[in-house]
């Protein structure tokens, strides 16, 4: 009986450790990415998941138009943005 309780407590302890070391940090990262993508605005310098560097020219509900270095305007989904490098200070 005591061995069964000890085994059960060990399994529960491993699940708790697994949650705090793997699941919870991933959820925090995902929330931060979603918040960053929701707060995109014109003039932000960004990098897409494909590695394209550009400046946001306009923002729609689920799409953004990015101006590349040579002036080319490209349309991306908001979810394609990996990071905001710098915000427009003007």
Computed over every residue of the chain, the mean pLDDT equals 92
Residue 2 has pLDDT above 90, yes or no: no
For residues 58 and 50, what is the distance between their CA atoms, to the nearest angstrom? 19
Backbone angles phi, psi at 76, to 5 degrees: -130, 155
pTM of the model: 0.71
Q: Is 2.30.30.60 the CATH classification of the domain at 3-84? A: yes
**Largest pairwise CA distance in the chain:** 73
Q: Kindly state the average pLDDT of the residues 76-90.
A: 83
């Amino acid at each position: 009986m005591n061995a069964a309780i000890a085994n059960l407590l060990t399994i529960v302890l491993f699940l708790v450790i697994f949650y705090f070391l793997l699941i919870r940090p991933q959820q925090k990262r995902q929330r931060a990415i979603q918040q960053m993508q929701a707060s995109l605005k014109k003039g932000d310098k960004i990098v897409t998941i494909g590695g394209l560097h550009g400046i946001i020219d306009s923002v729609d509900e689920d799409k953004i138009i990015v101006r590349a270095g040579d002036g080319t305007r490209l349309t991306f989904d908001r979810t394609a943005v990996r990071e905001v490098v710098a915000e427009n200070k003007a």
